[in-house]
Structure formats: structure tokens, C-alpha cells
Chains A and B, each alone.
Chain A
Amino acid sequence: GAVVSQHPSRVICKSGTSVKIECRSLDFQATTMFWYRQFPKKSLMLMATSNEGSKATYEQGVEKDKFLINHASLTLSTLTVTSAHPEDSSFYICSARDWAGLSTREQFFGPGTRLTVL
């Protein structure tokens, strides 16, 4: 159980275009989803936290108009990178937590999406 998927796994786009990444919880209802970014050979940095049906909370230094997050249902959150630039190229990973996670604080991670902006 507790499987999280991401789509696409890899995406290459031209500078200036927008890219949408989906994060789905396959066998549980995710009340909270998290989006992380990972640079090559670096650790994961939390970008934002989203709760179903409400606006995402962004970490300091993350542009909310640049990285749009929507958590419209209990099984789906999307991250849209708007007007992508080469510096947005990175590995984006989502995680999800269910109701039980309110007490355990355990998050389940997706496989990640490799974004390359040309």
C-alpha cells in the first residue's frame, strides 16, 4: 500500500513554455501533499505544502507565481512550472500523507520527474 505515482517521469521543454507535473496517491487519500526539488548531487528542498481544497503554502524563496500548485482532489496534486527557464531544470519529487499521517507524520514519496528546459 501507500503508493504515489508521478507523471511524466521525464519531460524536455523549450524555454518559455509551461510544464505540468502530476502527483497521484494510488491507494490512499492524501490530505496533504508536498513538492520537493532536488539539484544534481544535492539534497531535497521542500518547495511547498498543499492541503486538499486549500491554497498551497510555499517555502521562503519559492515563487508561487512561478510554481503553481493545485490540490483539487484527495488523490491528485499538480505542479505547473510556468514560463520555464533552463535554471528550472531539476528533479521534482512529490510526497503524500494520509489521515493516519497526521499522527505518524509519515510521507510516501513518488518516483520523481526529471525536467530539462532547453
Chain B
Amino acid sequence: KQEVTQIPAALSVPEGENLVLNCSFTDSAIYNLQWFRQDPGKGLTSLLLIQSSQREQTSGRLNASLDKSSGRSTLYIAASQPGDSATYLCAAAAGGTSYGKLTFGQGTILTVHP
């Protein structure tokens, strides 16, 4: 059974800092790895999706990497802003016949203060 863990559980940084969020998964036979953002009381916003054959994806100030063999993914946020404050979730999509069933981590609550 896939288990996804995110570290740290919470992170508070001053505006402008670069930061790294970590995600680890126990079963390396994933189809892809996705990073989401969730604002309080809201749904999920997809940030980046990395296919299992890829090593990283970039979008603006965000960069996500994937190392399947070690079961790790990181989300790098450059020059953080107060508007980046949210909960960040990673999710691993199952391969094989599970057709991409997602297993989510517990999330990292990010606070960027001015």
C-alpha cells in the first residue's frame, strides 16, 4: 500500500526566501507525481505534474523534481511571497491497473510573512 509523507508539516518564512518542500513515497512504481496548492476551505489547484519518466518540471517560480528510485520529490519555491501562503500537497499516482489512483501526503502548511 502506497504511503506518502510530507516534511515539514508546517513552515514559516519571511518574504523573499527560497524554500524546499519534501515529499516521499514508499512504492516507487508510480505513474506520476503531482503537487497541489490548497487555500483554506477551498479545493485543489494543480501546480506541477511530473511523469515517472521525467526528472523535473518548472512553472514560474516553482520547480519540482522527482527521484523515483529513492522515492522522493521536492518542490522548490523561489523568492517566496505572502500570496504563496497555503497548504501544499503532493500526490503519487499509482501505476499498473490502478489507473492513476492518487495517494496524498498530509500536506505542508506554508506561511510567508511580509
* Chain A interface residues (CB < 8 Å from chain B): 6, 32, 34, 42-46, 49, 91, 93, 95, 97, 101-102, 104-112, 114
Contacts and interface: CB of A to CB of B under 8 A. Distances in A.
Given A44-B102, A105-B32, 15 more contacts: A34-B101, A43-B89, A43-B107, A97-B100, A101-B100, A102-B99, A104-B32, A105-B31, A107-B102, A109-B43, A109-B44, A109-B46, A111-B43, A112-B41, A112-B43
Contacts, number: 57
A41 to B, nearest CB: 8
9 contacts: A32-B99, A43-B89, A44-B91, A93-B43, A101-B100, A105-B99, A106-B34, A107-B102, A109-B36
Nearest to A6: B43
Interface residues of B, number: 24
A29 B90 CA distance: 25
Interface string B87-114: 0010101000001111111110000000
Contact of A49 (B42, B89, B101, B103): B101
B102 A46 contact: yes
